[in-house]
């Protein structure tokens, strides 16, 4: 059996929901089919994070995989850029 190339993309973590699950936003741009205007859209996906490595605000790489649940069919690969942590005020 031949296996194809795994689809990967970069996304921004927008929320943590329970153990081993994160919510990410994938941004994309496209041209309107009739008017030609460039539009920005985003899709929110639920991602499986086995070791709970990603935090809110991180830029991560995700890969498509088998379905883990009804809504989860992407998995966390690696952190591309950690979120900037705010300094506590004194």
Label residue 18 by pLDDT band (50, 70, 90).
confident
Q: What average pLDDT does range 2-28 have in this prediction?
A: 91
What pTM value is reported for the model?
A: 0.82
Label residue 84 by pLDDT band (50, 70, 90).
confident
Topology (CATH level 3) of domain 8-81: OB fold (Dihydrolipoamide Acetyltransferase, E2P) (2.40.50)
Does the pLDDT at position 16 exceed 80? yes
8 touches 65 (CB < 8 A): no
Does the pLDDT at position 88 exceed 70? no
Domain ranges in the chain are: 8-81
Q: Which pLDDT tens digit goes with each residue over 38-72? A: 999 999 999 999 999 999 999 999 999 999 999 99
Q: DSSP assignment of 31-80, as one string?
A: E-TTT--EEEEEEEEEEE-TT----TT-EEEEEE-S-SSSSEEEEEEEEE
């Amino acid at each position: 059996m031949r296996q194809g190339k795994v689809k990967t993309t970069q996304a921004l973590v927008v929320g943590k929901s329970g153990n081993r699950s994160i919510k990410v936003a994938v941004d994309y741009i496209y041209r309107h089919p009739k008017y030609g205007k460039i539009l920005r859209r985003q899709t929110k996906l639920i991602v499986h994070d086995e070791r709970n490595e990603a935090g809110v605000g991180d830029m991560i790489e995700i890969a498509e995989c088998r379905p883990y649940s009804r809504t989860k069919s992407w998995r966390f690969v690696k952190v591309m850029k950690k979120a900037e942590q705010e300094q506590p005020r004194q």
